Structure 1
Amino acid sequence: MSSMIYESDLSARGRIVAAALGLFAAGGFRATTVRAIAAEAGVSAGLVVHHFGSKEGLRRECDERVLRFIVEKGESDAPAEVLAGAANPFGPYLARMLYETGSSTDALFDALLATARDAVELGIKSGTMRKSDDVDAQAAALVTLGVAPFFLAHQLARWAGGDALGGISRIAEPIADIYARGLLLGQSRGGAGQ
Structure 2
Amino acid sequence: MRSALPPAPTTPGTEASFETGDLSASGRIVRAALGRFATRGISGTTVRDIAADAGVSPALVIHHFGSKEELRRECDRRVIAFLRAKSQSRPGQVLDATFSRFGAYAARMLTEDSPESRSLFDELVAVARMVVDHAAEDGSLRASSDPDAQAVALVVLGLAPFAFTASLAHWANDDAEAAMRRLAVPIAEIYTTGLLRDRAVLEAARATEASGA
Match of 1:32 among 31, 45, 48: 45
| 1:107 partner amino acid | S
Structure 2: which amino acid aligns with 1:39?
A
Aligned-CA RMSD value: 2.6
Pairing 1:53-72 to 2, within 5 Å after superposition = 53-72=66-85
Q: How does 1:50-89 map to 2 (within 5 A)?
A: 50-72=63-85, 75-76=88-89, 79=92, 82-89=94-101
User: In 1, distance between residues paired with 2:55 and 2:141?
Assistant: 45
On the 8 A contact 2:91/2:130 being kept in 1, the answer is no
Inter-partner Cα distance in structure 2 for 1:108 and 1:135? 19
Cα separation, 1, equivalents of 2:104 and 2:71: 17
1:21 corresponds to 2:24: no
Q: Is the 8 A contact 2:25 2:54 kept in 1?
A: yes
Q: Is the 8 A contact 1:16 1:48 kept in 2?
A: yes
Q: Does 1:123 align with 2:135?
A: yes
- 1:96 matched to 2:126: no
Q: Aligned partners of 1:107 and 1:12: how far apart in 2?
A: 27
Which residue identity lines up with residue 152 of structure 1 in the other structure? Answer: F
Kept in 1, the 8 Å contact 2:41–2:108? The answer is yes
Q: Give the partner amino acid of 1:157.
A: A
Question: Which whole-Å CA distance do the structure 2 matches of 1:119 and 1:7 have between them?
Answer: 25
Contact 1:83 1:142 in 2 (8 A): no
Where does residue 45 of structure 1 map in the other structure?
Answer: 58
Partner of residue 12, structure 1: 25
Among 155, 168, 172, the residue aligned to 1:143? 155
Q: Quote how far apart the aligned CAs of 1:92 are.
A: 1.9
1:24 deviation in Å? 0.5
Q: Match for 2:171 among 159, 165, 168?
A: 159
Shift of 1:99: 1.4
Paired position in structure 1 for 2:118: 106
Report the 3-state secondary structure (helix = DSSP H, G, I; strand = E; otherwise coil) of the residue aligned with 1:99: coil
| Deviation, structure 1 residue 124 | 1.8
Residues in 2 aligned to 1:68 and 1:184: alpha-carbon distance in whole angstroms: 39
Instruction: State the percentage of identical aligned residues.
Output: 51
Shift of 1:184: 2.6
Contact 2:110 2:121 in 1 (8 A): yes
Give the whole-Å Cα distance in 2 for the aligned partners of 1:9 and 1:110. Answer: 27
Higher relative contact order (CA 8 A, sep 6+): 2
**Length, aligned pairs only:** 187
- Taking the aligned partners of 2:22 and 2:75, their CA distance within structure 1 comes to 14
Relative to structure 1, the CA distance from residue 73 to residue 166 in structure 2 (aligned partners, 3 Å threshold; closer, same or farther) is: farther
The code of the aligned residue for 2:98 comes to A
Gaps of 5+ in 1: none
**TM value normalised by structure 1:** 0.81
Q: Deviations over 1:87-124 (max 9, x none)?
A: 33322212211112222222221221122112211222
In structure 1, distance between residues paired with 2:81 and 2:193: 29
| CA shift for structure 1 position 63 | 1.5
